[in-house]
């Protein structure tokens, strides 16, 4: 991350960040260092995809149901994380090539327990705002690239949802959201049975005509014509999608709206990270009532929430000329050319308005490093869109997490309210079916 960008971003904060002094705490004796013997090991090249993630960081806020027990956390991390090579590696340049190099890792260098200044009485007055301010302040703090790019921050005071809070910051080159979720769950256990990993939701059964077994094609002209037409429609839709992708990459930009900056010169704007808990049972009720998928419900509620916010703020009810497109990141294969990939990456994010992701979490109460987990709220920073939306399920709740450009969304709390209202309205309508 460019440190100068972070410094300029902090010049005009949305609200005064939490005043802190950070000091690493020493872990339990005998668990403070991972040692690796890689003197003869070949250094693995950094993949083009990882290099494209240079400005992007993942930030995960985890609410805990008990006060912080730092020695327990340290013991779990020291025993579990060494299994993952990326968390023991840094990026080095050799002969002009970027490679991963194993290093000795001291756990204490990656644990931050902030010491609150005596004048920071805002913690007692509004602990939720204090956590929000602290997470937002991480944007201004560059990470030490002489160490593996991951950190654990702990705020050991109660909020409206949790007894204490853990904030994980990880450079996106170490993995994507799903791989990092898998890593976290490997250090967790079921609250009902600590001897096993947390149970994940079962894969949903796919129903409907598209998933029905194919029937043998009967003879005759009409079935043959139907078969030909279906492939023609598939080919046509594919060509349209490819053309739209190329146009977006080259010149097709979403127009300036309340959700988008007027130019793309600010690739990494300062952000606020906020979240709201919703009922997963309500989402499933809507899904069953209208015979769709969970993702269909989330996309529909998102559209409704953004519409409510837009029309209230703009006072305009004419949506004929509004174009608002979302990027749904999916990694299908490795990129063979970094320069072509970097161009596509930047243009796709700069020419669209929002990003949207949805992740599945444990289906039961989970203990992470000996602490009960209340909620999981992942997000990112380092991309140009003013609004990034994440949905994260856990037990019987689903979190909507917003990463917002605070200059574009100074009233981001109202946008969160719009999500809650939209879900409630959709549920009320579904209950009448």
Could you tell me if 374 and 407 are in contact, meaning their C-beta atoms sit under 8 angstroms apart?
A: no
User: DSSP H helical segments within 121-278, as ranges?
Assistant: 122-125, 127-137, 177-186, 221-250
- Residues with active-site annotation: 172
416 in helix, strand or coil?
helix
Helices (H), 278-329: 280-290, 294-314
Q: How far apart are CA 9 and CA 140, in angstroms?
A: 7
Token look-up 């703009």 returns 314
Q: How far apart are the first and last CA of the chain?
A: 50
With a CB cutoff of 8 Å and minimum separation 6, the contacts of 182 are none
Distance CA 125, CA 120 (A): 10
Going by C-alpha positions, the residue among 388, 390, 386 that lies closest to residue 375 is: 390
Q: Tell me the C-alpha distance between 417 and 306, whole Å.
A: 11
**Residue whose C-alpha is closest to residue 278's, from 199, 386, 391:** 391
* Tokens 């079962």 -> residue: 202
| Inter-helix orientation angle 221-250/338-351, to 10° | 90
Q: How many CB atoms lie within 10 A of CB 392?
A: 23
Is residue 88 within 8 Å of 176, Cβ to Cβ?
Answer: no
Task: Quote the CA–CA distance of 267 and 271 in Å, as a whole number.
Answer: 12
**Gap between the Cα atoms of 307 and 319, Å rounded:** 9
Listed residue (126, 158, 114, 129) closest to 14, CA to CA: 129
Q: Which residues pair with 398 in a beta bridge?
A: 278, 393
């Amino acid at each position: 991350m460019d440190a100068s960008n972070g410094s300029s971003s902090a010049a005009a904060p949305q609200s005064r960040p939490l005043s802190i002094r950070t000091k690493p705490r020493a872990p339990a004796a005998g668990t403070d260092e991972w040692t690796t013997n890689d003197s003869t090991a070949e250094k693995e090249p950094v993949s083009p995809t990882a290099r494209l993630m240079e400005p992007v960081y993942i930030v995960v806020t985890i609410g805990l149901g008990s006060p912080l027990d730092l020695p327990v956390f340290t013991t779990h991390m020291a025993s579990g994380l060494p299994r993952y090579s990326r968390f023991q590696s840094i990026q080095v340049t050799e002969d002009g090539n970027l490679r991963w190099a194993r290093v000795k890792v001291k756990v204490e260098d990656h644990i931050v327990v902030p010491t609150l200044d005596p004048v920071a009485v805002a913690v007692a007055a509004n602990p939720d705002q204090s956590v929000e301010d602290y997470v937002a302040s991480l944007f201004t703090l560059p990470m030490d690239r002489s160490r593996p790019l991951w950190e654990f921050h702990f705020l050991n005071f109660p909020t409206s949802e949790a007894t204490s809070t853990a904030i994980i910051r990880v450079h996106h080159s170490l993995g994507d959201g799903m791989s990092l979720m898998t890593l976290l769950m490997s250090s967790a256990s079921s609250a009902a049975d600590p001897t096993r990993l947390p149970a994940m939701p079962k894969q949903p059964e796919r129903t409907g005509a598209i998933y029905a077994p194919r029937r043998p094609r009967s003879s005759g002209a009409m079935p043959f014509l139907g078969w030909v037409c279906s492939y023609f429609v598939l080919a046509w839709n594919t060509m349209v999608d490819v053309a739209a992708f190329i146009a977006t990459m080259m010149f097709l930009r979403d127009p300036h709206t309340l959700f988008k900056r007027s130019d793309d010169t600010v690739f990494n704007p300062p952000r606020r990270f906020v979240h709201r808990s919703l009922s997963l049972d309500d989402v499933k009720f809507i899904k069953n009532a209208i015979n769709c998928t969970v993702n269909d419900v989330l996309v529909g509620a998102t559209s409704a929430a953004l519409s409510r916010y837009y029309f209230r703020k703009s006072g305009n009810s004419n949506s004929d000329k509004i174009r608002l497109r979302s990027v749904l990141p999916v990694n299908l294969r490795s990129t063979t050319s970094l320069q072509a990939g970097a161009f596509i990456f930047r243009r796709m994010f700069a020419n669209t308005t929002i990003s949207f992701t949805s992740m599945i979490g444990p289906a039961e109460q989970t203990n992470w490093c000996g602490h009960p987990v209340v909620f999981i709220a992942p997000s990112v920073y380092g991309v140009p869109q003013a609004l990034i939306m994440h949905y994260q399920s856990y037990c019987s709740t689903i979190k909507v997490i917003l990463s917002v450009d605070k200059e574009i969304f100074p009233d981001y709390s109202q946008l969160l309210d719009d999500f809650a209202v939209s879900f409630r309205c959709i549920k009320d309508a579904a209950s009448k079916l």
